[in-house]
Chain A
Amino acid sequence: MATEDESVDQLRQASGTRLRELKGQLFEAALLGATLVGIVSLLILFGYIAFDTFQPLTASAQWYLLYFGTLVAPTAAFTWYARRDPAVRAVNAKAFAVVFGGLAVSLVTYVVADSVSPYDVLIYLLFGAIPPLLVGVYGRTTDERTYTGPAIPVAAVLGLGVAALLYGLVRPVVGIAARWIAYFGITTLPVAGIIGFVVARRWSPRHGVMATAAVLLSALLVAGGLLGVGTDPSFWVVLFSTFVVPVGYVVGSTVGTNSEGRIGVLGPFVLIGGVLAGATLERQLAIKGLESYLTPTLLLESWHGRVASEAGVYPQLVGSIVVVGFMAILAFPIGISAAVYLEEYAPKSGWGSRFATLLEVNISNLAGVPSVVYGLLGLALFRRTLGFGTGIVVSAAGTLGLLILPIVVVSAQEAIRAVPDSLREASYGMGASRWQTLRNVVFPEAVPSILTGTILALARAIGETAPLVMIAVATTTYTPPEGLFSSATALPLQIYAARSSALPEFRHGVVPAAAIVLLALMLVMNATAVIVRNRYERDT
């Protein structure tokens, strides 16, 4: 044996195997290093930003111990516990999604409605939603789908048109009502309707009606109670309708029906409870906390160029949300339709197919056009040709929409392509038409992945700066946009504008904190996209 080992050893030496092995290992290490170098440098830079924002050295050791005890340890322990059981884990994930999703929805709803006036939102919502709802209900009761299908979008558009025409007449009448009633109309009515619909589907129509009535009544009770105390209930009505009610529904139905995983519902409440307990104890015991720059002032006030403690990015934040939201309304229907055309309608031979190839090449080239050039297009289109004012929501949203269009088309195309042909053929075999196949078979199957792609496109759009600079969007405004034709600004523009501030508390404080807010927005969007995708993958 020994001699054999020796001879193998000699052979290896003779053929230089050792050297080659060493070379291979060095090569692999170098490759791994190269893969990590970009990621690590970005992490270091993010570390700098986070350090400047949160100022971790300002807090005392007790502060860290306190939050470790109330927040980190319980959350980690619960997560560890929940991960062992798949049922609990699923419920935990669902509870987190509903709690933080509901919170985000209610904050965005309140903030946007507040800046553009809740009365306007109410008028357009009523006129835009009621006619199509009536048509839809008529179609459901009479089972008449041929005409109601196309009538629904037509009714919505007509309703919005009528609202725009009658706006001058209706606005004073609606304006009589208190502000909170407008919010009640915007949030509580639709939420009550949806809850009623869901409950009616799951249990019985009678339960549905009861659920709707319960939601409406309790929202009125909340409002009445707050009015009795003498505070404006607007915000609380919104929070109750879009946060408490959905969370209550999900928690209630999960606890009632899912006996295996019901403990998972506690997950988000452990987290929130930890934060609240930590904050209370911090104040009670007078522990020295973080002197972070990420403060309520930063999120809720408008910009101040010299005093760091008074500088905020509220108008910028709302501007970003409004611009990107309106951009989504403009760009997504067109982008998804274009993808549908390329995947489902485009002819496979003859001149039609050449046209489709031209479209594909065109879209891939559009995706490579630098974003500044889109800014020039926006400038020429919205300012010079259409004569819109400088830096208004419509031009900003339109410019970003043009920029995002190729990305939406490509991602939607991939989603539609992933739907297996066998489903389409089965549908055609049943005698369905192309549109029916698309609406009833292809689209429901492709929606989650289209959604993932579009959310990622939104995240990309919210960070775009160059096109907005090109169309001369104001870098700082002191009020959030009041409508589609009012001037707006966006968060990245404020970061760009504040780059040259020499004051250290801005350079190493407020601006990094604004950057953290922007990154957090993008992180939330990306996380949403990942959640949607994972849920979809689990379902199939």
Chain B
Amino acid sequence: MSNESQSVSDSLQRNQFVARKERLYAWLIAGSAVLTILVTVGIVLALSVNALTFWREISPIAFFTGTNWSPKIAGEYGVLPLVSGTLLVTVCSALIALPVGLAAAIYLSEYASERVRSILKPALEVLAGVPTVIYGYMALVYVTPLIDGFLPIDATVIPSRIQILAIPDWLPAISGFVLALPEFTLVVPSLRTFNALSASIVVGIMIIPMVSSISEDALSAVPDSLREAAYGLGSTKFDVSTKVVVPSATSGIVASYVLALSRAIGETMAVTMAMGMSPQMPYFPNVLKNLAESSQTITAAMVQIAGADSLGTGPTFEAMFALGMTLFAITLTMNVLAELVRRRFREAYE
């Protein structure tokens, strides 16, 4: 009898140990989950502490509205040239990646056979997997000379003095008046060694899969009943794709666009290597010159400071964190925006 109770209490004790062990494991596992939040906290703390130190020395107004970024020589910390460089690359790479990515998504979701899809989809993903340092090197060493082979272009699109309306001489009041089209010559100068065009091209290639894979998910989520209804009304595949499927998936497509833009903004190595290190306010009205000249993005400026001044603690070093803060704020806003668009405007098909 006592022997039995002994063994019962023994097994009870062991159970208690098992329970405690289970609880310990649960705590350990939950602890590592909490660690992921600490990463965010760490990023915010690291950026804000140093950035605030910087903004105590250099006023935020001077930082955000200054048009000269020259931390070493002039000690001026105007972020606008860097923002313009970033925008330049983002817009140009978006011009490549957004239409191409959407078209690829439509093809993969609507047209491609299962076999073609199983080849093309991983092949597209490879574009995002190539290290950006290799993209940068390819832009600098191969893309720029390749494009420069066609340049400079100096083509007269509208020759001078084409008259569309000439007032005849016998009308004395306004005689001699000639209404002519303005002369227009397309001038694309040769590319500099470092230029925005080649950087934008490789960044554009790099973010295609971002657009195509998220958009394709959205397109595939459109229920077949919608497609069948459209076919039933006599639509062609073209009509179904462009007038039914794509509009129904708008929220997902927009979200993919925003995420791709955010990725282009945060892209670092390719733009640092291919676009150079000379911050530049945009040229206007000669817009094409912007593409041919060197410029600098926010990320490239950070890399430049880190490479040159990583041991220092002066305002230039802290400027790096202020730039990082700006970048973090922009990309975070865009990512949250993309998520909101996806949730808010998602059409629920049941």
Chain A interface residues toward B at CB < 8 A: 20-21, 23-24, 27-28, 30-32, 34-39, 41-42, 45, 48-49, 146-147, 149-150, 333-335, 337-338, 340-342, 345-346, 358-359, 361-366, 368-377, 379-381, 390, 402, 405-406, 409, 433-435, 459-460, 462-466, 469-472, 492, 495-496, 499, 507-508, 511-512, 515, 518-519, 522, 526
Q: Mark B295-333, 1 if CB is under 8 A from A, else 0.
A: 000010011001100110000000011001001100110
Given contacts A341-B30, A508-B141, contact A376 B321 (CB under 8 A): yes
Residues of A within 8 A of B28 (CB): 337
- On whether the beta carbons of B137 and A146 are closer than 8 Å, the reply is no
Given contacts A35-B124, A376-B320, contact A492 B131 (CB under 8 A): yes
- On whether the beta carbons of A24 and B268 are closer than 8 Å, the reply is no
**Does B220 lie at the interface of the complex (its beta carbon under 8 Å from any beta carbon of A)?**
no
CB distance from A401 to the nearest CB of B (A): 10
Residues of B within 8 A of A463 (CB): 129-134
Residues of B within 8 A of A32 (CB): 107, 111
Residues of A within 8 A of B29 (CB): 337-338, 340-341, 345
Given contacts A41-B205, A42-B126, A381-B46, contact A338 B32 (CB under 8 A): yes
- On whether the beta carbons of B273 and A372 are closer than 8 Å, the reply is no
- On whether the beta carbons of A372 and B36 are closer than 8 Å, the reply is no
**Does B155 lie at the interface of the complex (its beta carbon under 8 Å from any beta carbon of A)?**
no
In the complex formed, the residue of A with least CB distance to B104 is: A35
CA–CA, A42 and B140, complex, Å:
14
**Does B345 lie at the interface of the complex (its beta carbon under 8 Å from any beta carbon of A)?**
no
Residues of B within 8 A of A368 (CB): 259, 262-263, 331-332, 335
- On whether the beta carbons of B36 and A405 are closer than 8 Å, the reply is yes
Majority-rule SS of A interface residues = helix
Residues of A within 8 A of B37 (CB): 358-359, 362
CB distance from A266 to the nearest CB of B (A): 29
CB distance from B65 to the nearest CB of A (A): 23
Chain B interface residues toward A at CB < 8 A: 14, 17-18, 21-22, 24-26, 28-33, 35-37, 39-40, 42-43, 45-47, 49-50, 99-100, 103-104, 106-108, 111-112, 120, 123-124, 126-127, 129-134, 136-138, 140-143, 205, 208-209, 212, 236-238, 241-242, 259, 262-263, 265-269, 272-273, 299, 302-303, 306-307, 310-311, 320-321, 324, 327-328, 331-332, 335-336, 339
- On whether the beta carbons of A365 and B332 are closer than 8 Å, the reply is yes
- On whether the beta carbons of A38 and B205 are closer than 8 Å, the reply is yes
CB distance from B258 to the nearest CB of A (A): 10
Cβ 8 A contact of B100, one of A37, A341, A364, A496: A37
Cβ 8 A contact of A435, one of B22, B30, B100: B22
- On whether the beta carbons of B21 and A370 are closer than 8 Å, the reply is no
In the complex formed, the residue of A with least CB distance to B339 is: A364
Other contacts beyond A31-B111, A34-B99, A463-B134: 20, CB < 8 A: A20-B238, A24-B237, A28-B107, A28-B111, A34-B100, A35-B104, A39-B127, A48-B138, A365-B40, A365-B336, A370-B268, A370-B299, A373-B43, A373-B324, A379-B310, A402-B42, A433-B18, A492-B134, A492-B269, A522-B131
Residues of A within 8 A of B310 (CB): 379, 390, 471-472
In the complex formed, the residue of A with least CB distance to B122 is: A530
Residues of A within 8 A of B45 (CB): 380
- On whether the beta carbons of B324 and A519 are closer than 8 Å, the reply is no
Q: What are 7 residue pairs bridging A and B, where the CB atoms are less than 8 Å apart in the complex?
A: A38-B127, A39-B120, A39-B124, A48-B142, A463-B134, A471-B306, A472-B311
Given contacts A27-B238, A435-B25, A492-B131, contact A45 B142 (CB under 8 A): yes
A-B interface, 9 closest residue pairs, ranked by CB to CB distance from nearest: A370-B266, A463-B131, A34-B103, A380-B46, A337-B32, A31-B107, A472-B310, A341-B33, A466-B268
Cβ 8 A contact of B306, one of A374, A469, A508: A469
Residues of B within 8 A of A149 (CB): 21
Cβ 8 A contact of B123, one of A39, A146, A334: A39
Given contacts A366-B39, A373-B324, contact A24 B331 (CB under 8 A): no
Given contacts A369-B332, A370-B331, contact A465 B269 (CB under 8 A): yes
CA–CA, A374 and B43, complex, Å:
7
CA–CA, A469 and B304, complex, Å:
9
Given contacts A38-B100, A372-B302, A435-B21, contact A495 B331 (CB under 8 A): no
Given contacts A49-B138, A333-B32, A511-B137, contact A372 B100 (CB under 8 A): no
Residues of A within 8 A of B25 (CB): 435
Residues of A within 8 A of B303 (CB): 372, 466, 469-470
Residues of B within 8 A of A363 (CB): 36
Residues of A within 8 A of B32 (CB): 333-335, 337-338, 341
- On whether the beta carbons of B40 and A42 are closer than 8 Å, the reply is no
CB distance from A301 to the nearest CB of B (A): 21
In the complex formed, the residue of B with least CB distance to A32 is: B107
Residues of B within 8 A of A364 (CB): 335, 339
Residues of B within 8 A of A362 (CB): 36-37, 40
- On whether the beta carbons of B133 and A495 are closer than 8 Å, the reply is yes
CA–CA, A279 and B135, complex, Å:
34
CA–CA, A27 and B103, complex, Å:
10
CB distance from A468 to the nearest CB of B (A): 10
Residues of A within 8 A of B21 (CB): 146, 149-150, 435
Residues of A within 8 A of B212 (CB): 35
- On whether the beta carbons of B262 and A460 are closer than 8 Å, the reply is no
Given contacts A34-B107, A341-B30, contact A366 B302 (CB under 8 A): no
Given contacts A31-B104, A48-B142, contact A380 B50 (CB under 8 A): yes
- On whether the beta carbons of B30 and A38 are closer than 8 Å, the reply is no
A20, A335, A369: residue with the most chain B Cβ atoms closer than 10 Å: A369
- On whether the beta carbons of A366 and B133 are closer than 8 Å, the reply is no
In the complex formed, the residue of B with least CB distance to A17 is: B236
CA–CA, A405 and B331, complex, Å:
18
- On whether the beta carbons of B328 and A342 are closer than 8 Å, the reply is no
CA–CA, A7 and B292, complex, Å:
59
CA–CA, A470 and B302, complex, Å:
8
- On whether the beta carbons of A372 and B137 are closer than 8 Å, the reply is no
Given contacts A28-B111, A526-B129, contact A495 B134 (CB under 8 A): yes
- On whether the beta carbons of B103 and A31 are closer than 8 Å, the reply is yes
CA–CA, A341 and B25, complex, Å:
10
CA–CA, A36 and B22, complex, Å:
52
Residues of B within 8 A of A37 (CB): 100
CA–CA, A338 and B259, complex, Å:
25
Given contacts A371-B268, A465-B131, contact A338 B332 (CB under 8 A): no
CA–CA, A465 and B310, complex, Å:
16
A36, A338, A370: residue with the most chain B Cβ atoms closer than 10 Å: A370
- On whether the beta carbons of B43 and A24 are closer than 8 Å, the reply is no
Residues of A within 8 A of B268 (CB): 370-372, 465-466
CB distance from B45 to the nearest CB of A (A): 8
Residues of A within 8 A of B14 (CB): 146
- On whether the beta carbons of A515 and B22 are closer than 8 Å, the reply is no
- On whether the beta carbons of B327 and A370 are closer than 8 Å, the reply is yes
- On whether the beta carbons of A365 and B36 are closer than 8 Å, the reply is no
